[in-house]
């Protein structure tokens, strides 16, 4: 779905945790209402203040293998599903995801998640709700992050992280954000315009 910068900022100001629109770069993710299992069907928007710099695709949901029980590798309570309609102020800092991939890492503020452990193929805000530091990073879906790959299946690439499936566009986002001290992330549910 297409969102204008005005739509995105308006919805951001209504989200829990909103303080102010960051003056620098920040990211707004919009979670698809369809939530097609294991598909990159969400949108990721790079903003600078109230200006939309670029939009791309990705996921704000764990992959199917994680939802179906793979979460036990990380936490027995369930897969990490980031709570939506919230602003996570200053949550990310530039670093290396898993020690090799330039990424935005949860090295700043805490984040609120739900532990979805019901084993179905939907990413839901069910189960135990907690706030803390869980390694909810922003990264891409390949070890060949210097490629121009566009992935279609999430697979094990997200156990709760926000993942961009278009590697070329991901590199652009990182290029903008890497020199900034912290990056704010807003996660919204899909909305009508």
Contact criterion met (CB below 8 Å) for 77 and 129: no
Average pLDDT of the chain to the nearest whole number:
95
Distance between CA atoms of residues 144 and 18, nearest Å: 35
Q: What confidence category does residue 126 fall into, taking pLDDT thresholds of 50, 70 and 90? A: very high
Q: Does residue 124 have a pLDDT over 80? A: yes
Which residues neighbour 25 within 8 Å (Cβ) at sequence distance 6 or greater? Answer: 46, 47, 48, 53, 176, 177, 180, 183
Q: Which two tokens stand for residue 116?
A: 């979805």
Are 59 and 158 contacting, i.e. CB atoms less than 8 angstroms apart? yes
Domain total in the chain:
1
Boundaries of domain holding 167: 5-189
Please give the model's pTM, rounded to 2 decimal places: 0.96
CA distance 110 to 76: 20
| pLDDT of amino acid 100 | 83
The pLDDT value recorded for residue 47 is: 98
């Amino acid at each position: 779905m297409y969102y204008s910068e005005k739509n995105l900022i308006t919805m951001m100001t209504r989200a829990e945790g909103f303080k102010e629109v960051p003056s620098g770069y920040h990211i707004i993710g919009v979670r698809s209402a369809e939530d097609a299992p294991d598909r990159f069907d969400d949108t990721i928007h790079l903003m600078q203040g109230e200006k939309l710099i670029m939009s791309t695709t990705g996921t704000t949901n764990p992959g199917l293998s994680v939802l179906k029980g793979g979460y036990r590798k990380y936490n027995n309570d369930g897969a990490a599903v980031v709570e939506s309609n919230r602003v996570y102020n200053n949550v990310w800092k530039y670093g290396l995801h898993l020690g090799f991939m330039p990424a935005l890492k949860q090295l700043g503020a805490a984040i609120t998640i739900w532990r979805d452990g019901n084993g179905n193929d939907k990413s839901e805000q069910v189960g135990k709700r907690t706030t803390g530091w869980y390694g909810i990073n922003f990264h891409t879906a390949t070890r060949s992050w210097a490629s121009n790959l566009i992935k279609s299946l999430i697979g094990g690439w997200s156990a709760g992280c926000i993942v961009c499936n278009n590697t070329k566009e991901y590199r652009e986002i990182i290029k903008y954000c890497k020199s900034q001290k912290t990056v704010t992330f807003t996660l919204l549910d899909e909305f009508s315009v």
